[in-house]
Structure 1
Amino acid sequence: MARFSVTYWIGVASETEARARALEIAVEQTVEIPRDIVPAGYIEDEILGQIESVHPCTDTRGGFLTEISYSDDDIGDDFPQLLNIVFGNSSIRTQTRVETMTLSPAITTLLSGPRFGIVGLRERTGVKRAPILMSAIKPVGLSTAELAGLAHQFALGGMDYVKDDHGLANQKTSPFTERLKACTDAIGDANAKTGFATTYVPNITGPSDQIFERAWMAKEMGAGGIMLAPSLVGFDVSRALAANPDFGLPIVSHPTFGGTNVITPTIGFSHRFFYGILQRLMGVDAVIYPNFGGRFSFSRDECLAIVDGCTCDLGGLKPILPAPGGGMTFERVPEMRDAYGDNVMYLIGGALLREKSDLPAACRKLIDAVRTGR
């Protein structure tokens, strides 16, 4: 039977300890009974996790890396169970972290992955090589008319995508349905005037019994994509939307509520896995994450590891656009271009909103800086 594998970092001092901990993970993630009573035959040979390798970790954490393989039969036919096998009960332990994983053919059959990815998002924007640009309407508390006005100005300036701030939900100042229509109409009006193809991306994050309704409403009203926060709504929501052949809108992932999964280097997930590989498994087309040098603590190396997770070979699943945000400014454009190159979606909000006296002109200035170096 085919197997997939997960590489874990284990914070112990010796290889003997590492092998013992690796065996604990292999047992815990599969049979969850003492090793000495695992039934012989199919369960022991196939279902039980198998230690493939154990070797020292060469980064500053020390410890060891272990690769453990799991049977396709462990996951059945659903994505949540795959995640349960990858890091279920073992996620409760300290000094244990998921670094990466390899896929089996069965997983790539089960998970269709991103519908659009980098190539599809470029086709929708018409931007063939340069970075794609996204702005955000905010803050919470503005009226629907004010938010739609901002969306209109961003579109007049030629931004590729205009999204809701992740804090915009269904507040009384701007109810979801009202905002969806107003912003879609505002951007459509701007596009008609300029010939640009700006896309509105509403935030559909909300109660579980309303998420899919909001997603389909966005499609029906003419939005060009949707944004959700997987750490709030669940990792399977984007997979279900991406896999639905009748939905067909790009999905943008927002990192809110997920920071504790990555910010401690000895527990949780590597940045590469959480913001790259996992997002592609979920069917996300672009993933927002905190940029280095901004108001969050991600390092340049961690951000570049995210880019690798978004774009590396992953069993045929499409590469997706990394979308660094939080601290993007005009002055940092050369630094960002040097770090990320072309295959990136810059998310810039506050720095543009500061230029409210002529927001379209500020957008055009940013586009020139990012795409022509001027």
Structure 2
Amino acid sequence: MSDRIHATYWLETGDDPARAAETIAGEQSSGTFVALATETPELKARSGARVERLEVLDHSATPSLPTPVRSTRYTRCRLELSWPIENLGACLPTLMATVAGNLFELRCVTGLRITDLRLPPAFAAEYPGPAFGIAGTRRLAGVDRGPLIGTIIKPSVGLSASETAEQVRLLVDGGIDFIKDDELQADGPHCPFDERVRRVMRVVNEAADRTGKKAMVAFNLTGDLDKMRRRHDLVLAEGGTCVMVCLNSVGLVGLRELRRHAQLPIHAHRAGWGWLSRSDALGWDYAPWQVFWRLAGADHLHVNGLRNKFSEPDDSVIAAARSVLAPLMPGAPMTAMPVFSSGQTGLQAHDTYSALGCADLIHTAGGGIFGHPQGVRAGVEALRASWDAAMAGEPLAERARRDAALAGALEFWR
């Protein structure tokens, strides 16, 4: 494996593509806006970013992004750059500044999106990645095969801690595997974190004592570092088996420090992903973005869901999930569990399973469970039945003929 860092971009420029590529490489390593005597050939050879590949794809008469420098033709390219790891060492925050720093702002750039990232083994040596991943999550949730059937407690504001606990009671009595806080619910005055954890875990522990099955609850502890550590310790002390954090809110350092401290799986929410990705001409593909968070310690990563309520197309969702399941590098798989959410029901089970070829995932449905006309238990049973049918290669309608909960769900899953 190369000891260099490699990043691939979709680039659009109104400049000569080769000149634009060199400008980007210089900006992100040894260069500046004018030639300097101190940037010697030796220095550039040692520390400069290298243009490894520049492939012209097509052209456009108009720029994708606003630009002060007008042109009659804008060239779109595939650009691969590499850097010696000696420039930064195995440091994720500096890596972020290197591959996704000032290059987006350059005048010659009218479109730029990071599409791939390959790292040398030093990063795997420095960052241990997920502590639990797929195997550890399955063990703690008591789910040996199939997806973890999950849901989200909403509304994120308004429900008290006791009301939240009552919703959890319905879910655990219905056999749910996984429950998560909403990303907007952390430590608000309506539902304080400490009280929520104690009330919810009382319900979860009582159900576990009765049935032998403990639902995994991802409590959203997003906050300052010291508060996240203390909140984690409370969840652990109360018998909880998962914590949740909003990645873009706490940043790489926040997740890294939580990973150092944590003794529980970290459920990572990507809230804010749209402003990083929604424009095809700017930002990130999911595959390179998730590399940072897996290395920093995320055990579960949200990937949206098929036929979701947002703008992301299905092929992008599946590509994201595959990237989370793929090894990060040879000898360092560090696989995490993809989390499917957003307008999900059992109607997506067959297509999700077919596209991934496995069920190593968490499938969360809110209204798809709570809205079942026969109640929450039937909602859980129907979602699980849809996955059993998918993994058995059985059509959903055929399974519904002998499964009353699934038959009832098909009346409102539309």
Calculate the TM-score normalised by the size of structure 1: 0.90
Q: How many residues align?
A: 369
The answer for the alignment partner of 1:6 in structure 2 is 7
1:90-239 equivalences under 5 Å are 90-93=103-106, 94-139=110-155, 140-239=157-256
Asked whether 1:258 is paired with 2:273, we answer yes
The answer for the alignment partner of 1:268 in structure 2 is 283
Contact 1:3 1:104 in 2 (8 A): yes
Matching residue within 272, 279, 298 for 2:312: 298
Asked whether 1:330 is paired with 2:335, we answer no
Contact 2:164 2:200 in 1 (8 A): yes
Provide the secondary structure at the position in 2 that maps to 1:196.
Answer: coil
Mapped to 2, the partners of 1:115 and 1:35 lie a distance apart of: 46
Contact 2:306 2:352 in 1 (8 A): no
Mapped to 2, the partners of 1:228 and 1:118 lie a distance apart of: 18
The answer for the alignment partner of 1:47 in structure 2 is 47
The answer for the alignment partner of 2:321 in structure 1 is 307
Provide the secondary structure at the position in 2 that maps to 1:235.
Answer: helix
Provide the secondary structure at the position in 2 that maps to 1:146.
Answer: helix
Mapped to 2, the partners of 1:112 and 1:164 lie a distance apart of: 26
Q: Which amino acid aligns with 1:19?
A: A
Q: Which amino acid aligns with 2:387?
A: V
1:279-298 equivalences under 5 Å are 279-298=293-312
Provide the secondary structure at the position in 1 that maps to 2:213.
Answer: coil
Mapped to 2, the partners of 1:5 and 1:164 lie a distance apart of: 36
Provide the secondary structure at the position in 1 that maps to 2:323.
Answer: helix
Calculate the TM-score normalised by the size of structure 2: 0.82
Provide the secondary structure at the position in 1 that maps to 2:220.
Answer: coil
**Is there any run of 5+ residues in structure 1 with no aligned partner, and where?**
none
Bigger Cα displacement from structure 2, 179-188 vs 276-285: 276-285
Bigger Cα displacement from structure 2, 105-114 vs 29-38: 29-38
Residue 88 of structure 1, CA deviation: 1.1
The answer for the alignment partner of 2:35 in structure 1 is 36
Mapped to 2, the partners of 1:271 and 1:105 lie a distance apart of: 21
Pair 1:54–1:48, CA change in 2 (3 A): same
Residue 239 of structure 1, CA deviation: 2.2
Give me the identity figure in percent: 25
Mapped to 2, the partners of 1:218 and 1:19 lie a distance apart of: 54
The answer for the alignment partner of 1:76 in structure 2 is 89
Structure scoring higher RCO (CA < 8 A, sep ≥ 6) equals 1
Residue 138 of structure 1, CA deviation: 1.5
Mapped to 2, the partners of 1:173 and 1:187 lie a distance apart of: 21
Residue 56 of structure 1, CA deviation: 3.3
| Higher Cα Rg, which structure | 2
Residue 289 of structure 1, CA deviation: 2.9
**Is there any run of 5+ residues in structure 2 with no aligned partner, and where?**
65-74, 391-398, 400-414
The answer for the alignment partner of 1:25 in structure 2 is 24
Mapped to 2, the partners of 1:356 and 1:90 lie a distance apart of: 53
Contact 1:280 1:317 in 2 (8 A): no
Residue 177 of structure 1, CA deviation: 0.6
Mapped to 2, the partners of 1:356 and 1:232 lie a distance apart of: 37
Contact 2:186 2:193 in 1 (8 A): yes
Contact 2:152 2:181 in 1 (8 A): yes
Q: Which amino acid aligns with 2:257?
A: A
Mapped to 2, the partners of 1:195 and 1:59 lie a distance apart of: 62
Provide the secondary structure at the position in 2 that maps to 1:210.
Answer: helix
Provide the secondary structure at the position in 2 that maps to 1:95.
Answer: strand
Contact 2:341 2:363 in 1 (8 A): yes
Mapped to 2, the partners of 1:90 and 1:58 lie a distance apart of: 21
Contact 2:228 2:258 in 1 (8 A): no
Mapped to 1, the partners of 2:17 and 2:233 lie a distance apart of: 48
Provide the secondary structure at the position in 1 that maps to 2:13.
Answer: coil
Mapped to 1, the partners of 2:309 and 2:272 lie a distance apart of: 16
Contact 2:30 2:39 in 1 (8 A): no
The answer for the alignment partner of 1:365 in structure 2 is 382
Instruction: Deviation per CA, 1:315-339: give whole Å up to 9, x if none.
Output: 2141111112101023333333333
Pair 1:137–1:75, CA change in 2 (3 A): same
Contact 1:108 1:317 in 2 (8 A): no
Residue 208 of structure 1, CA deviation: 4.9
Q: Which amino acid aligns with 2:24?
A: I
Mapped to 1, the partners of 2:364 and 2:264 lie a distance apart of: 19
